[in-house]
Chains A and B, each alone.
Chain A
Amino acid sequence: MKNFYCKILLALCLGVGLNIPVPAQDKVIDFPLAPYFSPATSEVMHPDDDGFIRRWLLLEPIDKPNRSNTVFTDSYIREAFTTEYFPGQFTVLPEDGDHVTVGKQKLTWHALESNLFNVKLFRFASKLHKQVYGVLFWAVTVIDSPEDIPNVRLSVGSNSASMWWLNGEEAVMLSGDRRMVKDDCLSKRLTLKKGKNILRGAVINGPGMSDFCVRFLDEQGVPVRNVTIKKQ
């Protein structure tokens, strides 16, 4: 019992200290990725109040050794992100618990909801006891739009470099040794089509923190919120 209260207190302290909204207590205590993530549910989920997309399928990190992030030039990024590491990399819509094999690594997809506006990939890896440096992450989500929404832009901040595809088309690339900044790089004008839109991203990092934040902005820079975020 004493241990149980300690866990609650620790979780609450962690959550408050990191300014993370703390979900239901049992979820916080039991879930290994708390307090940064909660398990993805089937409940209807919209982008958050600022339009950030928080529901993602994340693949455990692919081993991609780099001692420094200064190597992430445009050419390097384009090559690193267009290399096929596993079958269906640019087409598959994985489910929670699906596995892929990359070289000698057997990696698992996790359906998660970030408790922050950004997705802390570093903590995703560290909480799963995976490598945190010299890594390449894949992320996928589904955006269900009630209508065609033209002239929106995909807005991304990432640490470090990243590349993003909407419905199979390259949307935006963030090269260089980057810190995650809200609305750092935006795509050209895109259309979110009526129905399902698949957003896919890859984030690469050598040493240091790794995370990303993603939202769509309309022509006036207002976050797009009238869509739902799904696992499938």
Chain B
Amino acid sequence: MKTKTFCRVAAALFVLLMPGTAAAQIGEPYIHDPSTIMKCEGKYYTFGTGGGGLISEDGWTWHDGGVRPGRGAAPDVVKIGDRYLIAYSATGGGLGGSHRGTVLTMWNKTLDPTSPDFKYTEAIAVASSEDDEDCDAIDPGLLLDPTDGRLWLSYGTYFGFIRLVELDPATGKRKEGNEPINIAIGCEATDLIYRNGWYYLLGTHGTCCDGPNSTYNIVVGRSRKVTGPYLDNMGRDMLEGGGRMVIGAGNRQTGAGHFGRYIEEEGVEKMSCHFEADFDRGGRSVLAVRPLLWKNDWPVAGEVFKEGTYEIESERRGYALELCVDFVRMEGGMHRFWEKSDEPLQPLKSQTLEDVIGTWPKGNIDVRIGDYMFRPHQRWTITAVPDAGGYLGAPYYKIVIEGTNRALTATADAEVSTVPEFTGAPEQLWRIEQLTDGTYRILPKKVPGTDEELVLVSIGDSTPSLGKFDRNSDNSKWNFRDH
């Protein structure tokens, strides 16, 4: 094996074998300043600084291949009707260079470069800055206001003000007579989003482009009006440098920047950004996708799901998913609590798999939900399955009883059970997504005999099944508890 090949294999193995390593997108997710992720004809797209972009079939494995002309910096994309509007910027150099910048927009009917419909319109300038201005017209962010259909664009860097202009959603041009409004300072790579009566301005603070030492982090302020003022949780205006942290460094990745929001469906949201340096990928800048949570109407980045052994707790009553097997009582540890005792304390041993597995049936065993007693039939080990693909932001997982290969599976009658051996069949692969309220939904990759997307539900306090996801029902929600 040649040294280069050996190094590649070793690096791949390192990534696969690291505990809890399903933290980063796989493939070649190398990008800087990623645009908001768009889904187009079944594939996911994001564009970055310097032209080009990434494409993913499933939202987990990413490859180079996106096409965006114009090079320049930090694009963003919004879908309007059946077209995509792409904004990007031609920079004068930034930081220590010139601050002459121009933001341009262009349209395309598709983002798929292999489609016969793939053709960009000519780029048109919609905002600019000169060297004598306190603004650097780069890093655009687009918002199509869901309340009234108006189109807004924010832009700017640390050099001066973040500015807001209005565009015509029919043409992508600047609205005639529109003047920029200053809405923030001290940040860059802004994005605007709307939710629940609030407009949110997300910007990136900290030091950019310094590899593992980049302190880039994403902050947010909110306003009842798109034009501001955008205040943080302390009431500080972002025009005074305010901003509440959404995501910073962690999981051996530094320099979170360039927020983008992706709404999977109501109650299931994700955010994209880059990390300036992924320590497990030699410090390269990579695309990251995280769950997006909402706490008291503030956006918070969820955590990447960590492989491990958990209680799978139903949000409905708080009971735990477990095998339908005889409860094996533990001997000892019974005391007459009303009598004093001078006997020395002896720790009780936890019940082990060996203590009970002989009492379990050998074939399929159904599951139910019951009081969590940290017993072997209630402890589920969850690990990513290599080469099984994934969904936006995460891989598929297998869910097995700790110390065994007994795997949770969906059944042809849309119920849940376990099989004695994990085979990798699609009904044994599980999608685990954190919801906007911090709980999780759990979906099989495929329910045998149907293409309907069903999630693990608690139909009774003690009975699990598969059913349609309902974000307003605790029946659809679960927690993973390590205790």
Contacts and interface: CB of A to CB of B under 8 A. Distances in A.
Nearest to A172: B463
Contacts of B368: 185
B326 interface: yes
Nearest to B366: A188
B460 A183 contact: yes
B130 interface: no
Number of contact residues on B: which range applies?
10 to 19
Contacts of A226: none
B263 interface: no
B197 to A, nearest CB: 30
Most chain A beta carbons < 10 A, residue from B326, B414, B462, B465: B462
Interface string A19-43: 0000000000000000000000000
Contacts of B415: 188
A73 interface: yes
B462 A74 contact: no
B324 interface: yes
Nearest to A76: B326
B324 A74 contact: yes
Contacts of A183: 460-461
Contact of A75 (B326, B370, B459): B326
B460 A184 contact: yes
B463 A186 contact: yes
Interface in B441-483: 459-463, 465, 467, 475
Nearest to A217: B459
Interface residues of A, number: 21
A201 to B, nearest CB: 16
Interface in A73-121: 73-76
B2 interface: no
A176 interface: yes
B124 interface: no
A46 interface: no
A189 interface: yes
A120 to B, nearest CB: 21
Interface in A182-206: 183-186, 188-189
Interface in B119-172: none
Nearest to A151: B414
A188 B460 CA distance: 11
B340 interface: no
B463 A74 contact: no
Contacts of A217: 459
Nearest to A181: B461
A186 B460 contact: yes
B353 interface: no
B376 to A, nearest CB: 15
Given A188-B413, A188-B415, A189-B413, A74 B460 contact: no
B413 A176 contact: no
A46 B13 CA distance: 64
B325 interface: yes
B329 A70 contact: yes
A208 B394 CA distance: 49
A24 B415 CA distance: 46
Nearest to A176: B327
A174 interface: yes
A123 interface: no
A155 B460 contact: yes
Contacts of B327: 73, 175-176
A230 interface: no
A221 interface: yes
A188 B324 CA distance: 14
Interface in B319-344: 324-327, 329
B326 A73 contact: yes
Contact of A176 (B370, B459, B460, B461): B370
A176 B329 CA distance: 12
B462 A185 contact: yes
Given A176-B370, A188-B415, A189-B413, A153 B325 contact: no
Question: Among B324, B325, B414, B461, which residue has the most Cβ atoms of chain A within 10 A?
Answer: B461
Nearest to A174: B462
Contacts of B329: 70
B476 to A, nearest CB: 12
Given A176-B370, A189-B413, A184 B326 contact: no
B322 to A, nearest CB: 11
B459 A221 contact: yes
Interface string B346-379: 0000000000000000000000101000000000
A163 to B, nearest CB: 13
A173 B233 CA distance: 51
Contact of A74 (B326, B413, B461, B467): B326
A185 B326 contact: no
Contacts of A75: 326
Contacts of A175: 327
Interface in B403-451: 413-415
A74 B359 CA distance: 11
A184 B459 contact: no
B367 to A, nearest CB: 12
B325 A184 contact: no
Contacts of A186: 459-460, 463, 465
Contacts of A155: 460
Given A175-B327, A221-B459, 15 more contacts: A74-B325, A76-B326, A153-B459, A176-B370, A184-B460, A184-B462, A185-B368, A185-B460, A185-B461, A185-B462, A186-B459, A186-B460, A186-B463, A189-B413, A189-B414
15 contacts: A73-B327, A75-B326, A172-B463, A174-B462, A175-B327, A181-B461, A184-B460, A185-B460, A185-B461, A185-B462, A186-B459, A186-B460, A188-B413, A219-B467, A221-B459
Interface of B: 324-327, 329, 368, 370, 413-415, 459-463, 465, 467, 475
Interface of A: 70, 73-76, 153, 155, 172, 174-176, 181, 183-186, 188-189, 217, 219, 221
Q: Which 4 A-B pairs have the closest CB atoms?
A: A73-B326, A186-B460, A186-B463, A185-B462
